[in-house]
């Protein structure tokens, strides 16, 4: 594998990480829920795309139009039914963090269990546009290229939505200070529910994109949760552009390690980066110190 090919493959992987991490950063930054079941929502969407492609012959790009609203509605219901009572009950932010971690940890097992019952524990994949395209003299599969483009388009439009619209400003105000946001007439609970649902939609989009070029299993969600968390922390909690850059960075590092060192060491590399960033700059590479 040449360096160009490795770099492009890294960017593709990183684009997916960035897309996925943006959803988590919305959920944790604005809704203040650390969602450990996040990766399992991604895997659920990947299976949904697989079913649409296999059984109904719907192409995954069209599938996005179905799966993403599905993820949005699912996350919204989870917030309203399970998490909102915890938010109301929690005396302070620390208590809510512990409660939400424990509850979504339970949710992780439920979602994973349902997927195992329906699809079993085998690796799943489907073939979609697996034709080589020439980019800067390096051959790369068209499905990977589409994955990268989709990740960038979705990520950037979300960024513009959050920074250029009044509604996005309100959401960001809640992220900065829930108390003050309430004072200026923003419905904080509604904003939190909305941000959590939006995060679910992004997880679903990420799942569909991942399913286009990777194999996946019912038990693979934990790895995605971990990677999304690492990207979120690297980029600074609640920072969308930070998540985008950190995601691309992580993807490139992982691909370089697996190409030039050993594929078995990619996760170790990921966790090493994570730990170094946590200790060196807990507020994230691009984050401002919060609290």
Partner 1 sequence: MRTTFGIAAVAAVFLALALAPFHLGTYGVGLLIGLTGYVTLASAWALFSGPTRFVSLATVAFFGIGAYTTAVLYEVLPPVLVLAVAGLIGFIVALVVGLSTLRLAGVYFVIFTFGLAELVRQLVTWYEVNVTGTLGRYLFVDFGPEVVYWQLLALCAVTIGLSFLIQRSRLGLALKMIGDDEVVAEHCGLPTARVKLALFAVSSVIITLVGAIQAPRWTYIEPTIVFNPTISFLTLIMALLGGAGRLWGPVVGAVPLFLLFEWLSANFPNHYSIILGLLFMAIVFVLPRGVLEFLEGLVRRQRSGRRETPFKGEVAS
Neighbours of 94 (CB within 10 A): 9
Q: How far is the CB of 11 from partner 1 (least distance, A)?
A: 24
Nearer to partner 1, 14 or 284 (CB): 284
Q: Is 275 in the site for partner 1 (CB under 8 A)?
A: yes
Q: How far is the CB of 41 from partner 1 (least distance, A)?
A: 14
Site for partner 1 in 19-48 (CB under 8 A): 34, 36
Count CA within 13 A, CB hemisphere, residue 132: 7
Longest dimension (CA), the chain: 58
Nearer to partner 1, 106 or 139 (CB): 106
Q: Is 123 in the site for partner 1 (CB under 8 A)?
A: no
Q: How far is the CB of 139 from partner 1 (least distance, A)?
A: 30
Q: Is 102 in the site for partner 1 (CB under 8 A)?
A: yes
For the window 129-158, what string marks contact with partner 1 as x by the rule CB under 8 A?
Answer: ------------------------------
Among 58, 82, 133, 285, binds partner 1 (CB under 8 A): 82
**# residues near partner 1 by CB under 8 A:** 40
The residues, ordered by sequence, that sit 6+ positions from 211 with a Cβ below 8 Å of its Cβ are 45, 46, 47, 49, 50, 60, 125, 126
Q: Is 97 in the site for partner 1 (CB under 8 A)?
A: yes
Q: Is 278 in the site for partner 1 (CB under 8 A)?
A: yes
Among 1, 101, 135, 153, binds partner 1 (CB under 8 A): 101
Q: Is 248 in the site for partner 1 (CB under 8 A)?
A: no
Q: Is 241 in the site for partner 1 (CB under 8 A)?
A: no
At 12, phi and psi to the nearest 5?
Answer: -60, -50
Q: How far is the CB of 254 from partner 1 (least distance, A)?
A: 13
The residues, ordered by sequence, that sit 6+ positions from 26 with a Cβ below 8 Å of its Cβ are 195, 196, 198, 199, 202, 238, 240
Q: Is 113 in the site for partner 1 (CB under 8 A)?
A: yes
Q: Give the range of 80-88, 165-173, 207-215, 249-257 binding partner 1 by CB under 8 A.
A: 80-88
Q: Is 103 in the site for partner 1 (CB under 8 A)?
A: yes
Among 66, 73, 267, 285, binds partner 1 (CB under 8 A): 267
Applying CB under 8 A, the residues found at the interface with partner 1 are: 34, 36, 82, 85-86, 94, 97-99, 101-103, 105-114, 116-117, 222-223, 226, 229, 233, 262, 264-265, 267-268, 271, 274-275, 278-279, 282
């Amino acid at each position: 594998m040449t360096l160009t090919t490795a770099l492009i493959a890294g960017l593709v992987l990183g684009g997916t990480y960035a897309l996925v991490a943006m959803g988590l950063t919305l959920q944790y930054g604005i809704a203040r829920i650390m969602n450990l079941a996040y990766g399992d929502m991604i895997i659920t969407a990947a299976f949904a795309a697989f079913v649409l492609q296999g059984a109904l012959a719907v192409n995954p790009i069209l599938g996005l139009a179905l799966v993403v609203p599905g993820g949005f509605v699912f996350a919204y219901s989870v917030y309203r039914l399970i998490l909102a009572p915890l938010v109301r009950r929690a005396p302070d932010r620390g208590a809510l963090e512990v409660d939400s971690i424990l509850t979504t940890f339970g949710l992780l097992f439920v979602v994973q269990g349902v997927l195992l019952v329906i699809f079993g524990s085998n690796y799943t994949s489907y073939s979609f546009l697996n034709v080589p395209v020439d980019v800067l003299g390096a051959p790369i599969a068209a499905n990977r290229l589409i994955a990268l483009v989709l990740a960038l388009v979705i990520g950037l439009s979300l960024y513009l939505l959050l920074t250029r619209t009044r509604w996005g400003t309100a959401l960001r105000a809640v992220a900065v200070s829930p108390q003050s946001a309430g004072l200026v007439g923003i419905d904080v609970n509604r904003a939190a529910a909305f941000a959590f649902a939006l995060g679910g939609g992004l997880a679903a989009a990420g799942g569909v994109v991942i399913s286009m070029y990777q194999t996946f299993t019912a038990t693979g969600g934990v790895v995605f949760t971990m990677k999304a968390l690492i990207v979120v922390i690297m980029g600074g909690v609640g920072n969308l552009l930070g998540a985008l850059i950190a995601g691309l960075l992580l993807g490139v590092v992982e691909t370089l390690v697996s190409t030039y060192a050993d594929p078995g060491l990619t996760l170790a590399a990921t966790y090493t980066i994570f730990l170094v960033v946590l200790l060196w700059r807990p507020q994230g590479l691009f984050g401002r110190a919060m609290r």
